[in-house]
Structure 1
Amino acid sequence: MAIVLIFASFLFAIAILYLRENQFRLAFIKACIIHGCLIIFSTELLSLTRSLDFTHVASFWLITSLVNFSVLWNCYRKLPANRTFKLKSNFETLDRASQISIAVTIAVLLISLITALIAPPNNWDSMTYHMPRVMHWIQNRTVAHYPTHSLRQISFPPGAAYIVTHLQILAGGDRFANCVQWLSFVGSIFGISLLTKKLVGEQAQWISLVLCASIPMAIAQSTTTQTDLVTSFWLVCFTYFLFASPDFKSNLFWMIGSLGLALVTKPTAIIFGIPLFVVFGFLTFRRSFIQNSSVIKSCLNTVKVCSIVGLGSLTFPIWSWLRNAQTLNQFLGTDMGTRSEVNSLPELISIFLKNLSLNLTLPGLRQFITLIHEYFLKVDVNKPALTLGNPVVAFSTIRTSPLNLLFPMEDSVANPIHLILGVVAVSYLWSSYFRRADQKLRLLLLSGAIATGYLLYCYLLKWQPWGNRLLLPLFILQTPIISYYLADCLKIRSNLSVKLTSLIGVVAILYALTPIRHPLVPLPNWSPYLAQGQSESILWLPRQQIYFGGSLKYLEITDRKIVDTVIDRDHCHTIGLISGEDDWEYPLWVLFNEKTSGNFRLKHVDVKNESAKLEPEFPDSELCAIVSTKGHIQSIP
């Protein structure tokens, strides 16, 4: 299959970098950045001439693979004859807790990979806009905007979807669509362990592996086509290279690439990236001042370096931002009503507390926060200016049992252990004494960037019941701080360290086995909330049935009836679609493709929003049927 081309290129790049630097984890994240850059810019360039098709994409990756192979062969020939690798012996020298940490991490990653490959995309957002826009791009052979009922398909940052598009074109289907998030999970674990090694020490890096691999939201998202893990990975890369070397010049490309890839993936990268960029500016000034002792020269150097990184990273999202400005008159696209209207400190505290409650599953906590709003903050807990959604999903009514937040749902699962550990670790960090002042400074700067990112998030975005997934980058970035705390507190308590690592590992494996919408081992339906989205084991379900195995099982009958009627009765292969902003579209693409072996076209018709003015994907005169997501079918003579 042609999909081998992109994976071959990736593996060749890892091998090249590993041979040069002798660090596999660093080689992995650098290869990811290189290929992320290649995908973003090749997609945009191919789209200019409507060449985003199998022939051109396969040719691009064939050439890239051949170039990488030739470079690899040249590097291999220059290797010393006595070059050896001792991964096994290195593992055996580690203590018991570190060995368990590595073993658990590998187990979680393998289980998640199996799930990602067996289960097709069936997350809600995947059905409504993540995967449909990929299908429209492939059909149109360009990522140019098109008329759509769901503005999220064209206005939301496309970075992760570009990677899925390349995989979809080369594989001829969505078998590898979930692997983008899974690879980001692997990269986040590798990157955070390297960051921990740099900021804390050799021993703590192994603790960070299991801490990162056991974050429930990260595990849940690693088998979906959502974008929060991808965003987290690029921010982890930027943070690592930010602290990696006193000389920024050697890492400028990697910093520009990782930050740019984060910006083109999700708007939250701007919120969480700003504090990290400020840290970058501070460290640049500090290092420059130490070298030349001149404030003016240090300021000028800081402005120059920060401008290079900032402007360089903006070349990644600027293409989609310009399209948004042309279509929607705003660079970042439609915000879907998520922007907060905070006007006072009590309102900021309101969102701060409600977001904390998404990760704390204590009984009565939500009622306690409601009382604080009523008697102290004097703010309506469901104030529309601060809360996304209608009263059905308001803070005071959603999920009567806090245990529902523990279910492995990729939209809402809580991270209570990691939140508590994070708060304790930051408190310990600020009250502890470091022998190395520079190490203390770097960890304090990281903790400050995380705290600032959270405050910015609370200030800029409304509270939303599924908002915990947006906070995933902060949970991953706090791992080095928790690792320092645990390494410092448990360094003389080896038995306790083994027990804690084992406990966290068991919980992580359970989460990896039981994602609600595509479990290997389904949870018992003892909760009405769980029963709404619980799927049967994907080991026994046909792949086509798994698309509907989660939230909307009943939709399979309706969609199959639509497809059978249009194709069998009307013999129609050019279809118009009428849908709502949040209606499932991707299953129709899957079923039409199955029925016609890909010989069909589909576009949105009767569009009423700003995208209606755009050039149609194909003329209305070619339509022979119009369907709606409500099950209505209209034949066109």
Structure 2
Amino acid sequence: MPVIFLISAFILLYLIYRRDHDWRTAVLLSAVSWAVIATVIAEFLSLFSALALEGLLIAWIAINLGLGFWFVRQSHKASLQSQPEASNPSFTRFQKILLIGVLGIVLGTGLTALLSPPNNWDSMTYHLGRVIHWTQDQSVGHYPTHIPRQLYSGPGPAFAVVQLFILTGDWFLNLVQWLSMVFSLLGVSLITERLGGNLRSQLIAVVISATIPMGILQSSSTQTDYVVSLWLVCFVYFSLATIQNRIGWTYVPALGASLGLAILTKPTAYLYGFPFALWLLFVGVRYLRWKVWQPLGVSCGIIVLMNLGQYSRNLKVFDSLFGPTGQDSGSYSLSVLISNILRNLALHLSTPVRSINLITIRIVTALHQVIGLDPSDPSITSPPGQKFDMHSLVNHEDLAGNPQHLLLILLCIVVFVLFRKRLKTRDQRLWSTYLLCCLVGFLLFCFLVIWSPWRSRLHLPVFILLSPWVGMALSELFKQPIANAITAGFLAISFFWVLCNETRPLVINTKFVEERSIETIFNQSRTDRYFSSRPKLAKPFIATIDHLAGQSCNEIGLIITGDTWEYPLWKLGREQSKRPLRFEHLQVENPSSTLASQPPHQDFQACMVLTDKPGYLEQTELQLGDQRYRQTWEQGDIKIYSRS
């Protein structure tokens, strides 16, 4: 199986780093290095339109040979671990239970990720939608599309996903997020250690991080919030290590690469990473004075190089480095900031009981009256016309909140403020600075990003970065029985989200409550599972795919909306027809339309056109350029026109 070359490259990186670092740090360094290599390969092969099976095999075999040669050459210079190893930790019975619980979460989500096909809403439209276009074009270059998010949104995780897709199909695509969760847990333990935590503190922090509901739900999907969380965890850990080593050079390239990968994944990395970068800069000036420009220049250079390809593509098409995200607040004032803080926090207080949610909604609305704002004001709410509300679907990866974690964080902050003098002065400063960086990142998010009901998933990095701090607070400021009870309780209730994921359930989901039916990843076909997030699409899409498979046409034009599920059409269409269908977007009405006249799109001649776009559905004939198309098939809101 070709994917073995990706795995062996990671193993070789680990063996190389393991010589000079403890095993957890070696894993994080290997993850960062592997992702950088995958990014370089995707960008380089795209220059020659060679992002295909043959090009990937040559590239990864060459990487393996190079890493193998490096490892063998260095074998005589150092033993496997040159640094003194700590003695094997001695776990108490309770700590072993915690480890088993975390392992249960990891295995449960891993099983879900492996057995379920991708079925996340955003993945079906743009995360995987762009992967199929890249595969078709053999390049990560921009292309004409009705779904601009396929172009301007952070492509970092998709660089790895497209290579997995080309080498294995979509059987392992969910594992990118799952591995991000696993590696993040290691990073959380290391950050806790840097904050002064012992084995007990590290275990508590890992449990707090592993039990985050949004994290559990997302870890088996092809979303990207856990990926950006991983790179931010790496950046923060390497930053702390650099600060505590008085700005030594050991981790400077790694912290630059990890922040570069985070930015390449999601723009929220700018907001969450900025306070820690500022902390790093202040300490750098303190120790190095004007010479701080040297490590700073190296880190910034790596960050820019990591994102240069995407910046240039966005600049060429959208005249902007970031593209038309439409997620900026646009309204900047103290009252709007307070509003966004209240509404974002409210998302994490949602419960399955509507009457309880209504109480929270009334409280938030009353507080808005005090500051003179409407919580549903279209100028501070996305999309326009969206009403401020709280969803009761607490087991859905797009809507779930983290109520118990939010309440615990607030409790720990209060306890820290009241009893921080129990700590050494140095620990007080370290804990305070770390907490301040996390909170400032969240405040920047609330200040700059417009509110919407789906924002809770974008807060995942904040909860993960706060986990080490909460673990330290529980272990150092709470009595041991209380801390143990809280940790065990979090671990116990977390299996609800492991077993009852709404779109990828191992046991049940809300259909059991509403319809007394049991639908799991074990009793449904893989085809049906693609449409779990949007079951009403299953019938018209499958019928459309069957129709396409029965035609002799391979060149299919798409005139679709910005939310159309493009990925199942392409993936299932190719499987059903057993021939290389080519899909291209026609009649595009955004800046990417200029790319239609450039290779490899300029020679495309559609023999059929598929549309679900209002304005086209009422027509029985289409005139596209000098070609006329006549309606030949219809199912639901999908119509197909054949060339006359």
TM-score under structure 2 length normalisation: 0.89
Q: Deviations over 1:350-390 (max 9, x none)?
A: 1110011011237211111111212x111111111110014
Q: What is the CA-CA distance between 1:10 and the residue it aligns to? A: 0.9
Give the Cα separation in 2 of the matches to 1:30 and 1:356: 34
- Identify the residue that residue 267 of structure 1 maps to in structure 2: 267
* CA distance 1:445–1:86, change in 2 (3 Å): closer
- Identify the residue that residue 538 of structure 2 maps to in structure 1: 556
- Identify the residue that residue 67 of structure 2 maps to in structure 1: 68
Q: Deviations over 1:44-66 (max 9, x none)?
A: 11111111111111111112223
1:117-132 residue pairs with structure 2 within 5 A? Answer: 117-132=114-129
Q: 1:514 touches 1:520 (CA, 8 Å); kept in 2?
A: yes
Matched, 1:147 2:140: no
Indicate which of 181, 191, 201 corresponds to 2:187. 191
Structure 1, unmatched stretches of 5+, are 289-297
Specify the SS of the correspondent of 2:583. strand
Specify the SS of the correspondent of 1:633. strand
Q: 1:129 touches 1:150 (CA, 8 Å); kept in 2?
A: yes
Matched, 1:302 2:289: no
Q: Deviations over 1:200-244 (max 9, x none)?
A: 322311111111110111111101111111111101101001111
Letter in 2 for 1:395: F
Q: 2:609 touches 2:640 (CA, 8 Å); kept in 1?
A: yes
Specify the SS of the correspondent of 2:320. coil
* CA distance 1:496–1:378, change in 2 (3 Å): closer
Moved more, 437-446 or 219-228: 437-446
Give the Cα separation in 1 of the matches to 2:512 and 2:541: 29
- Identify the residue that residue 511 of structure 1 maps to in structure 2: 497
* CA distance 1:442–1:82, change in 2 (3 Å): closer
Letter in 2 for 1:463: W
- Identify the residue that residue 387 of structure 2 maps to in structure 1: 394
Specify the SS of the correspondent of 1:632. strand
Q: What is the CA-CA distance between 1:617 and the residue it aligns to? A: 4.1
Indicate which of 468, 475, 493 corresponds to 2:456. 468
Q: What is the CA-CA distance between 1:187 and the residue it aligns to? A: 1.2
- Identify the residue that residue 427 of structure 1 maps to in structure 2: 414
Q: 1:218 touches 1:472 (CA, 8 Å); kept in 2?
A: yes
1:335-354 residue pairs with structure 2 within 5 A? Answer: 335=325, 337-354=326-343
Moved more, 439-448 or 610-619: 610-619
- Identify the residue that residue 380 of structure 1 maps to in structure 2: 374
Give the Cα separation in 2 of the matches to 1:478 and 1:572: 54
Give the Cα separation in 2 of the matches to 1:429 and 1:415: 21
Q: What is the CA-CA distance between 1:547 and the residue it aligns to? A: 0.3
Q: Which has the higher contact order (CA 8 A, sep 6+)?
A: 1
Give the Cα separation in 1 of the matches to 2:73 and 2:402: 47
Specify the SS of the correspondent of 2:348. coil
Q: What is the CA-CA distance between 1:535 and the residue it aligns to? A: 8.1
Q: What is the CA-CA distance between 1:161 and the residue it aligns to? A: 0.6
Specify the SS of the correspondent of 2:141. coil
Specify the SS of the correspondent of 1:433. helix
Q: 2:512 touches 2:518 (CA, 8 Å); kept in 1?
A: no
Q: What is the CA-CA distance between 1:507 and the residue it aligns to? A: 1.7
Specify the SS of the correspondent of 2:380. coil
Letter in 2 for 1:354: R
Q: What is the CA-CA distance between 1:578 and the residue it aligns to? A: 1.2
Matched, 1:626 2:609: yes
- Identify the residue that residue 252 of structure 1 maps to in structure 2: 252
Structure 2, unmatched stretches of 5+, are 613-636
- Identify the residue that residue 318 of structure 1 maps to in structure 2: 308
Moved more, 339-348 or 459-468: 339-348
* CA distance 1:428–1:496, change in 2 (3 Å): closer
Give the Cα separation in 2 of the matches to 1:508 and 1:248: 40
Q: What is the CA-CA distance between 1:42 and the residue it aligns to? A: 1.5
Q: What is the CA-CA distance between 1:82 and the residue it aligns to? A: 12
Matched, 1:459 2:447: yes
Letter in 2 for 1:509: F
Matched, 1:536 2:522: no
Matched, 1:525 2:508: no
Letter in 1 for 2:643: I
Indicate which of 425, 428, 448 corresponds to 1:440. 428
**Identity fraction in percent:** 32
Q: What is the CA-CA distance between 1:314 and the residue it aligns to? A: 1.7
* CA distance 1:545–1:617, change in 2 (3 Å): farther
* CA distance 1:535–1:257, change in 2 (3 Å): farther
Give the Cα separation in 2 of the matches to 1:618 and 1:506: 53
1:132-211 residue pairs with structure 2 within 5 A? Answer: 132-171=129-168, 173-203=169-199, 204-211=201-208
- Identify the residue that residue 631 of structure 2 maps to in structure 1: none
Letter in 2 for 1:320: Q
Q: 2:144 touches 2:585 (CA, 8 Å); kept in 1?
A: yes
Say how many residue pairs are matched: 607
Q: Deviations over 1:330-369 (max 9, x none)?
A: 110111x321122421121111100110112372111111
Q: 1:573 touches 1:599 (CA, 8 Å); kept in 2?
A: yes
Letter in 1 for 2:248: F
- Identify the residue that residue 467 of structure 2 maps to in structure 1: 479
Indicate which of 552, 555, 563 corresponds to 1:574. 555
Q: Deviations over 1:141-186 (max 9, x none)?
A: 1111100000000111110111101111111x11111111111101
Indicate which of 385, 390, 399 corresponds to 1:412. 399
Q: 2:152 touches 2:322 (CA, 8 Å); kept in 1?
A: yes
Specify the SS of the correspondent of 2:610. strand
* CA distance 1:450–1:487, change in 2 (3 Å): same
Letter in 2 for 1:253: P
- Identify the residue that residue 14 of structure 1 maps to in structure 2: 14
Q: 2:555 touches 2:606 (CA, 8 Å); kept in 1?
A: yes
Q: 1:514 touches 1:522 (CA, 8 Å); kept in 2?
A: yes
Moved more, 539-548 or 458-467: 539-548
- Identify the residue that residue 369 of structure 1 maps to in structure 2: 364
- Identify the residue that residue 51 of structure 1 maps to in structure 2: 50
Q: Deviations over 1:30-83 (max 9, x none)?
A: 100001111111211111111111111111111222333344455667776999
Q: What is the CA-CA distance between 1:434 and the residue it aligns to? A: 5.5
Give the Cα separation in 1 of the matches to 2:329 and 2:510: 38
Give the Cα separation in 2 of the matches to 1:383 and 1:607: 31
* CA distance 1:188–1:555, change in 2 (3 Å): same
Q: 1:168 touches 1:177 (CA, 8 Å); kept in 2?
A: yes
- Identify the residue that residue 32 of structure 1 maps to in structure 2: 31
Q: 1:426 touches 1:481 (CA, 8 Å); kept in 2?
A: no
